[in-house]
């Protein structure tokens, strides 16, 4: 290209391939991603490559580790929840591309990480948080991605960036209560702690955007960045798949709207056009 190599510094990065397709991967927040409570590290894990967890195609395992107890040397895993882990994204050497395959039932019924591995990842996450807090001069909760190498069993940190939702919020507490109760049409994991109402709009594809009206409740299987123009107009979001670190959950927090993720069968059980209430103010379970 005619560049003088003495004036333009070029380099080639060579990275080892972490074969998470034959092991596991996930996302870590150094706070509770729903409440913003900074006393915990929240670790999620699935089998295979991590795109499934980010895109919300699967419901991951979730683990809570108490920070101060971990710093004091205790085995501080205080709670864990088994996720469905419906799919495993793997590399197919015959076709030379990635393929999503159904996760075998016996694996779905097991946790994707051993407790000791969770504690090791949480310990690393605290060190990463401390490093960036010192660098930025203020406490900096982190959003971290990790992967486990199948052939060796080694754990790797892939990337780390500042958490962008709770760290930007003003210190205002709003408490929501559900005063009346109707028939429960669907339930899953609650994202946020608020309540919203609106007409249910069931969409299969973001190309159906013209059918969606401002203030309606988006009900779909899963979301990705193509859905964001619709999500910005929604009073609430309901997805059949995904966990607390899925695309739908992260965007819902950024928008400040309630979401129920992992609501299996929601597109069939919620009637199109029905006025519904989406409640995330009753603890871990979110209900429609």
Q: Which residue has the tokens 């960045």?
A: 225
pLDDT of 170 above 80:
no
pLDDT in tens, 4-35: 878 887 778 888 889 999 999 999 999 998 88
Residues 199, 232, single domain; the answer is: yes
**Residue 202 near residue 218 (C-beta atoms within 8 A):** no
Across 26-41, b (16+ Cβ under 10 Å) vs e yields bbbbbbbbbebebebb
**Is 8 contained in some domain?**
no
Domain around 42 = 20-164
Beta-bridged to residue 43, according to DSSP, are 28, 63
pLDDT in tens, 178-225: 899 899 999 999 998 899 999 999 999 999 999 999 999 999 999 999
Classify the C-alpha dihedral 233-201-226-268 as positive or negative: positive
**CATH number, domain with residue 111:** 3.30.470.20
Residues 160, 208, single domain; the answer is: no
Task: Choose among 234, 239, 238, 237: nearest CA to 214.
Answer: 234
Count of CB atoms within 10 A of residue 102's CB?
A: 9
pLDDT band of residue 168 (cuts 50, 70, 90) is low
**Is 236 contained in some domain?**
yes
Q: Are strands 142-148 and 195-202 parallel, antiparallel or unpaired?
A: unpaired
Cα separations in angstroms, 151 against 88, 112, 139, 148, 279: 17, 15, 37, 9, 44
More confident residue, 60 or 171: 60
pLDDT of residue 100: 95
**Is 172 contained in some domain?**
no
**CATH number, domain with residue 222:** 3.50.30.10
- Mean pLDDT, rounded, of the chain: 92
Residues 203, 275, single domain; the answer is: yes
pLDDT in tens, 50-70: 999 988 889 999 999 999 999
**Is 156 contained in some domain?**
yes
**Is 87 contained in some domain?**
yes
Task: Choose among 251, 260, 279: nearest CA to 175.
Answer: 279
Domain count, the chain: 2
């Amino acid at each position: 290209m005619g560049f003088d190599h003495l004036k333009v510094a070029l380099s080639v990065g060579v990275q080892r391939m972490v074969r998470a397709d034959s092991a596991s991967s996930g996302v870590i927040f150094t706070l509770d991603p729903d409440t913003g409570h900074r006393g915990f590290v929240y670790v999620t894990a699935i089998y295979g490559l991590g795109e499934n967890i980010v895109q919300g195609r699967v419901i991951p395992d979730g683990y809570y580790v108490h920070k101060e107890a971990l710093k004091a040397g205790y085995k501080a895993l205080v709670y864990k929840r088994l996720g469905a882990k419906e799919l495993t994204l793997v590399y197919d050497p015959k076709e030379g591309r990635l393929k999503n395959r159904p996760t075998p039932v016996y694996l779905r019924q097991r946790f994707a990480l051993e407790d000791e591995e969770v504690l090791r990842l949480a310990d690393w996450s605290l060190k990463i948080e401390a490093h960036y807090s010192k660098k930025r001069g203020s406490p900096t909760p982190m959003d971290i991605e990790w992967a486990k190498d199948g052939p060796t069993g080694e754990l790797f940190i892939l990337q780390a960036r500042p958490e962008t939702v709770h760290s930007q919020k003003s210190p205002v507490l709003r408490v929501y209560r559900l005063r009346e109760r109707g028939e429960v049409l669907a339930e899953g994991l609650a994202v946020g702690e608020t309540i919203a109402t609106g007409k249910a709009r069931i969409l299969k594809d973001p190309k159906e955007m013209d059918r969606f009206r401002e203030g309606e409740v988006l009900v779909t299987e899963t979301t990705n960045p193509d859905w964001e123009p619709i999500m910005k107009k929604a009073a609430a979001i309901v997805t059949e798949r995904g966990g607390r670190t899925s695309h739908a959950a992260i965007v819902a927090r950024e928008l400040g709207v309630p979401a129920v993720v992992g609501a299996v069968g929601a597109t069939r059980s919620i009637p199109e056009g029905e006025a519904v209430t989406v409640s995330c103010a009753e603890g871990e379970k979110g209900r429609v």
